[in-house]
Structure 1
């Protein structure tokens, strides 16, 4: 009876042990499959961590040129993006600019406010120009991802598991941001390098994808094997269930045998054989399962080796890319040096050509100038000779003309004294007319002689114009009192000139201002002086102004005023020879100055004249 009970428990334990081992084997297969499927999310997580590190490093190497007193360094992420979580996780471990990092999220562009850095991914469909307008003038850095070349301050691009970046220095400088030297050196600086980077990365991705395709096909093949193994395990499991059913049937039979002790005694040897057969079958199935598990482990080891091989190939590709980058940098530096040397050589050649052309031009100009100087010198000698001849001619002519006029005047005076009583009234009037005409002719000859001598004075002295004008007023005292004229002057300078000529100049201008007064009006004359630099000249001139309240000058007479012997009024209205202003013009031209006037009819006239300071 004890043996029978033991046999019953033995049969209960055997199926339970086989079932447990089967479940363990199935769990191992499912775990291996889940590990393979979990590799993709793991790679994505690594890329997200790399992106967050990239943003931190770029923010730390950009130079913020203003003095921001905010205790935190704030990064804003635009749009719904998991990068917010990655940046916040990294902000617990790292600082930027020795400041704690605060990460905020903005749903729209108009929400951006009070941040140091704004990050946005191109897949969020935000317009980069609107973002730049929003942060303009706020000393905020804009980091974009996968946007067009040179459209942002700093643009990063993700190809596979790698990140690269390019920098727009114009936008950075416009927003008062600087770039460190190392950051500038490692950036993609042109659209050609950007395209080359994409092409190289595409080639690298194609090679990697080919390798991954091979690995995937191998994994697919192994998955097929695993599927077959699962089917085999399922068949084994079905067989085990069948065996369990057989065992249950056998148990029922054994139970029936237990109730019949005699039958048990007779068939005990048969029961032991059946138990041994069942045990042998289960052990064989266990061995088969162990072999399949070893095969699966071998496949897993092969996959691990293939992954190690892919990683080594990736490292070799990165090393080759670094060598290519170094070679490109070296070639770029050499190219820049060659361009600079070529530009320097061109500048030197152009400078030599320009210097030679200037030398030839200056030489020709000097020769031409020397020839013109010789011509001017010869003509000046000729003019000086003719001026001397004209002066002698004017003197002789005036002397010869004055002699008959003197004779005529003397004869007229004798006739008037001796025959005054015998001449009728018409004859006396004619005699007076002849006498006055002779007197006027003599005055004109004297004026002409004086005019020819103007500008010949060699003796020039320092003349105080205040004193000179005071003396002229004293000389004209009779005319001033007779016309009740008022003459004012102040702060007149000291000038180096001929005293006689300067006296003639002021005396003619003052005398004209008194003479050409309005009826029943007292002349008011003001003389003043200031400094000026005429147009197209660099020398400083004294500019005098003689202002009166007289009858004024008509505009149509503007060109006749300074002509010799030109009169604007009849002798009966205003006496004079008409040579006074011609004297003034010649005197000022000899001093290197000019004379002109501004006049309003019946209101007055202002004469302006300039004399160079010496």
Structure 2
């Protein structure tokens, strides 16, 4: 009997610690969301002023400036625009999983919507998109659409010049999880970047002119974790990448 009492006491202590840790985590997440929301609101106005000021300088005084002066104005305008995009992306990241409930999500329909949304990019590079049979899972529909949209968009963005993008999306079931793969024949990812690829504001290719906030894969990581899963990538520079992720069935 004494052994049973000790076991129950230990279990209760462990449960209490887990409950407290969960509460602390929820409070931290709420504080982070408030912080991001306040920062984004407070920063948007001065950023808009900077962009407006640079536009007025360019419009009204560019004729008085030499080429170097015009170039500096362009730098200011573009940098303010990039910062505004990053603030919006950070706010979007903090809101993932908020104010939504799990429901049955047909992932084939989700992919059909994503392909329609990316139709211009797909047509511009004449990409071939192959989508196998996909399951219906219990999840957050908006977030799952964002997950596939980010992965597909990345595969289109980092394609090889002169090579038709070939992107394949498939899955298989492994016990109580579905494992998905998004495979491309793009420029690939250097090994040095693989370790931190899912961290926020970590751009895959730092030395190129491809636009982006560097937060898309951080979105993917958060969405997958929201579905009790994980995400990883296999890649070979010059050959292509395959993003794998598993979601709770």
Greater Rg over alpha carbons, structure: 1
Q: 1:425 to 1:459 in 2, by over 3 A?
A: same
More strand by share: 2
Q: 1:556 to 1:570 in 2, by over 3 A?
A: closer
Q: 1:499 to 1:510 in 2, by over 3 A?
A: same
Asked if the contact 1:491/1:528 (under 8 Å) is kept, the reply is yes
1:611 partner SS: strand
Counterpart-to-counterpart distance in 1, 2:69 and 2:190: 40
Match in the other structure for 1:382: 24
Q: Does 1:588 align with 2:224?
A: yes
1:420 partner SS: helix
Q: 1:460 to 1:396 in 2, by over 3 A?
A: same
Match in the other structure for 2:46: 404
TM-score (norm 2): 0.94
1:456 partner SS: coil
| Match for residue 545 of structure 1 among 181, 190, 193 | 181
Q: 1:362 to 1:574 in 2, by over 3 A?
A: farther
Match in the other structure for 1:453: 95
Asked if the contact 1:457/1:498 (under 8 Å) is kept, the reply is no
Q: Does 1:530 align with 2:166?
A: no
Counterpart-to-counterpart distance in 2, 1:425 and 1:514: 35
Match in the other structure for 1:536: none
Match in the other structure for 2:108: 466
2:173 partner SS: strand
Q: 1:479 to 1:440 in 2, by over 3 A?
A: same
Q: Does 1:415 align with 2:77?
A: no
Unaligned segments of structure 1, at least 5 residues: 1-358, 534-539
2:129 partner SS: strand
| Match for residue 127 of structure 2 among 485, 495, 500 | 485
Counterpart-to-counterpart distance in 2, 1:485 and 1:570: 24
Q: Does 1:556 align with 2:168?
A: no
Deviations 1:373-402 (A, max 9, x none): 222223322332232122111100111111
Asked if the contact 1:592/1:612 (under 8 Å) is kept, the reply is yes
Q: Does 1:565 align with 2:197?
A: no
Counterpart-to-counterpart distance in 2, 1:443 and 1:449: 10
2:113 partner SS: helix
Unaligned segments of structure 2, at least 5 residues: none
Deviations 1:206-241 (A, max 9, x none): xxxxxxxxxxxxxxxxxxxxxxxxxxxxxxxxxxxx
Q: Give the CA deviation at 1:571.
A: 5.9
Deviations 1:382-427 (A, max 9, x none): 3322321221111001111111101111111112222232222211
More helix by share: 1
Match in the other structure for 1:434: 76
Match in the other structure for 2:149: 507
Counterpart-to-counterpart distance in 1, 2:164 and 2:110: 23
Instruction: Map 1:226-237 onto structure 2 (within 5 A).
Output: none
Deviations 1:162-220 (A, max 9, x none): xxxxxxxxxxxxxxxxxxxxxxxxxxxxxxxxxxxxxxxxxxxxxxxxxxxxxxxxxxx
1:545 partner SS: strand
Match in the other structure for 1:238: none
Counterpart-to-counterpart distance in 2, 1:458 and 1:471: 19
Q: Give the CA deviation at 1:498.
A: 1.6
